[in-house]
Structure 1
Amino acid sequence: MNQVNYDEIGKQFATQYYQALQTCRASIGAFYHEQARMTYEGVEVIGRENISQKLQGIKCNTLQVALTSVDTHPSDNSLLILVCGQLKSDDDHPLPFSEVFMLSLINESFLICNSMFRLNLHHF
């Protein structure tokens, strides 16, 4: 990767992605590569359409996301991004989450090829 500010790209990506997730979940598929893979709370979903359906099927009317941190590493025309934050649905309490994205540069645009999402719930 050339002299690119990958930290800024990671932050811009996270801002745009979670804005779409909060305001227009139907558009979320545009962020994913056609053969993308996502693991959502331990369940693997394969393909842009299936991922889009999974995310649109989240059972809540309102979704709010507050980002705590976005860490980005470059790797051979790809970006590895770790996002930590809080997720609030409807009137529920905010819950901490972590999400990892592998973005690949395809036709001069970064698309999600892999992602993993987990709520950070701890049981003692």
Structure 2
Amino acid sequence: MAEPEFMQMGKAFVGFYYPEFSKDRSATSALAAVYTEQSCLTFEGAQFQGKAPILEKLASLPFTKVCHQVTTIDAQPIIGVDDNKAVVVMVTGQLKTDDDPPHSFHHSFMLRPAGGAFVISNEVFRLALHN
């Protein structure tokens, strides 16, 4: 059975996002194209809205190198949004920054079609740390 289009899209987005994130998080990076003035990010509980504040947050993260090891990608169409073309994507995995040990993470995206591509409408990132 063929993989659903929304799952293919989720996997393609993840295949783009993490390598770009690792390479360049600046305002002029390819990553900047997936954010809009309406985009919202919750990063470890802190809220950001709009392209510039989100990219400023990502650029300010306190590491030089980062590598994401994706474990799972789940995707679903969002029924009733953008003619059912919007997709929610949930990613789990591990990330390693600089010389730090790997940490598990959860990352979710709501993607919406825009001009033949997709943009991030909503995004939530959280390290999976247990106290």
Would the TM-score normalized by the shorter structure come out above 0.5?
yes
Please give the alpha-carbon distance, in whole angstroms, between the structure 1 residues aligned to 2:75 and 2:115. 21
Q: Residues 71-90 of structure 1 correspond to what in structure 2 (within 5 A)? A: 71-75=74-78, 76-90=84-98
Seq. identity, %:
35
Q: Residues 29-68 of structure 1 correspond to what in structure 2 (within 5 A)? A: 29-68=32-71
Is this contact kept in 2: 1:29–1:51, CA < 8 A? no
Is this contact kept in 1: 2:68–2:93, CA < 8 A? yes
Is this contact kept in 1: 2:94–2:104, CA < 8 A? yes
SS of the residue 1:9 aligns to: helix
Q: Which runs of 4+ in 1 moved over 4 A?
A: none
1:77 shift after superposition: 2.2
Matched, 1:104 2:112: yes
Please give the alpha-carbon distance, in whole angstroms, between the structure 2 residues aligned to 1:30 and 1:93. 31
CA RMSD of aligned residues (A): 1.4
Residue 21 of structure 2 corresponds to: 21
1:7-45 deviation digits (Å, cap 9, x = unpaired) = 111011011100011011122221112210000000000
Contiguous gaps of at least 5 residues in structure 2: 79-83
Contiguous gaps of at least 5 residues in structure 1: none
Please give the alpha-carbon distance, in whole angstroms, between the structure 2 residues aligned to 1:12 and 1:33. 20
Residue 11 of structure 1 corresponds to: 11
Amino acid at match of 1:110: F
Please give the alpha-carbon distance, in whole angstroms, between the structure 2 residues aligned to 1:25 and 1:17. 10
Q: TM-score by structure 2 length?
A: 0.88
